[in-house]
């Protein structure tokens, strides 16, 4: 890639939770950024810090309709796109089961559109946000990338199909691609308002309001929660890998912390972090939920130098502080 100040990175879904942190990370590294977002769940206010930044452009568009038309005027003004970080997605597993045909468009067609743009325009690098949902209910933990993918929802199936399309792009088209399988991401700007939201955003928001917390199942299920700042670092680092010395072409890697926490412990930590005195109620387990999930992050460490910097205590504190300010 050229020098940072002349490098243009396209971030699809850049107005969303993880996307906005990724945009911030890229701008801090001195890169130029164009966001493509349809604002279905993303918000302009997620990018409030940088709205007047001269190196940021935001375009409202549905990426499953293609990237050529929305990016053409930007390319005329600023030159070619060097990298694409593709986060735009329908992110609810439950909604993917209710509307699989809508999901295939948002979560697979959009990826094919990204690869097609990269092929035609010779984009240096494509990075895709895959998900731990591609694994299904594995028992051999921590889960490595060698585990056979057995997704249990259209969301997981379409994430896996997207990974395969990236591999086709890398192996057949000669593109440089990386798919990062994100585990449970949390942090400031995660939207707690939807029933599909991340559990930490819901637990913190309810604790701060003094409302009781609901846990589905016995709360002994475990997850690997990774702070959004660490995820944004991994995405931008994977994208900026120099094509000449590219060690991560065709890479698929887990992004988590390698540490599991039970939902009961998490609820207790969220309540303590907010100095709240709310109760925890247990409701029947939700169908299709996996029991345990924790990432083996050896591959991301070896290839990207990925090492999560934010402990769960620190991450919860930063996130609670942000919700307090809302
Ligand atoms: N949050 C997590 O824990 C997690 C875990 C694994 C993977 N991921 C993946 O990370 C990515 C970002 O997730 P997030 O948590 O920030 O969710 P989010 O909903 O905040 O972000 C998704 C963004 O994509 C935009 N978008 C959706 N469909 C679009 C389309 N067709 N065209 C243009 N923009 C579109 C939305 O408006 C939003 O800004 C997604 O691909 C998601 O599947 C997230």
Print burial letters for 206-228: b (CB count within 10 Å at least 16), e (below 16): bbbeeeebebeeebebbbbbbbb
Q: What is the pLDDT of residue 192?
A: 85
The CB of 13 under 6 Å from ligand 1? The reply is yes
The CB of 143 under 6 Å from ligand 1? The reply is no
Q: Whose CA is nearest to atom 29 of ligand 1?
A: 88
Active site residue 323: no
Which of 18, 157, 228 to probe ligand 1 with, by most ligand atoms within 8 A of CB?
18
Backbone angles phi, psi at 290, to 5 degrees: -80, 160
In whole angstroms, give the CA distance from residue 304 to residue 27: 20
Q: What is the pLDDT of residue 245?
A: 64
Which of 14, 15, 16, 293 to probe ligand 1 with, by most ligand atoms within 8 A of CB?
16
Domain ranges of the chain: 4-185+228-256+296-308
pLDDT bin (cut points 50, 70, 90) of residue 197 is confident
The CB of 293 under 6 Å from ligand 1? The reply is no
Ligand 1 center from residue 90 Cα (angstroms): 6
pLDDT tens, residue by residue, 151-175:
999 999 999 999 999 999 999 999 9
Print burial letters for 262-277: b (CB count within 10 Å at least 16), e (below 16): bbbebbebbbebbebe
Q: What is the pLDDT of residue 14?
A: 98
Q: Whose CA is nearest to atom 32 of ligand 1?
A: 62
Q: Is-above-0.95 flag for pTM?
A: yes
Half-sphere exposure of 212 (CA within 13 A, CB side): 7
Which of 13, 108, 114 to probe ligand 1 with, by most ligand atoms within 8 A of CB?
13
Ligand 1 center from residue 323 Cα (angstroms): 20
Q: Percent of the chain scored above 70 by pLDDT?
A: 96
The CB of 58 under 6 Å from ligand 1? The reply is no
Q: Which CATH superfamily is domain 4-185+228-256+296-308 in?
A: NAD(P)-binding Rossmann-like Domain (3.40.50.720)
């Amino acid at each position: 890639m050229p020098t940072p100040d002349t490098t243009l990175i396209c971030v699809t879904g850049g107005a969303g939770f993880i996307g906005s942190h990724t945009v911030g990370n890229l701008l801090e590294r001195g890169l130029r950024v164009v966001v493509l977002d349809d604002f279905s769940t993303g918000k302009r206010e997620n990018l409030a810090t940088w709205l007047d930044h001269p190196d940021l452009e935001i375009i409202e568009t549905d990426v499953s309709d293609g990237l050529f038309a929305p990016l053409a005027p930007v390319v005329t003004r600023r030159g070619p796109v060097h990298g694409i970080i593709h986060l735009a997605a329908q992110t609810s597993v439950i909604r993917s089961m209710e509307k699989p045909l809508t999901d295939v468009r948002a979560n697979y067609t959009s990826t094919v559109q990204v690869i097609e743009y990269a092929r035609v325009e010779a984009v240096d690098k494509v990075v895709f946000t895959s998900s731990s949902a591609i694994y299904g209910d594995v028992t051999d933990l921590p889960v490595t990338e060698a585990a056979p993918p057995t997704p249990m929802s259209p969301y997981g199936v379409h994430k896996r199909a997207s990974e395969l399309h990236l591999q086709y792009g890398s192996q057949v088209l000669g593109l440089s691609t990386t798919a990062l399988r994100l585990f449970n991401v949390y942090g400031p700007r995660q939207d707690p308002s939807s029933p599909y939201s991340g559990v930490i955003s819901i637990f913190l928001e309810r604790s701060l309001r003094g409302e009781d917390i609901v846990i589905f199942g016995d709360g002994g299920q475990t997850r690997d929660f990774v702070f959004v700042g660490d995820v944004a670092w991994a995405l931008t680092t994977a994208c900026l890998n120099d094509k000449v010395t590219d060690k991560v072409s065709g890479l698929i890697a887990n992004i988590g912390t390698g540490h599991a926490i039970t939902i009961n412990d998490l609820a207790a930590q969220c309540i303590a972090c907010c100095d709240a005195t709310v109760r925890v109620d247990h409701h029947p387990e939700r169908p299709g939920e996996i029991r345990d999930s924790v990432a083996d992050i050896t591959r991301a460490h070896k290839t990207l130098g990925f090492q999560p910097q934010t402990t769960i205590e620190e991450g919860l504190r930063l996130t609670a502080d942000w919700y307090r300010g809302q």
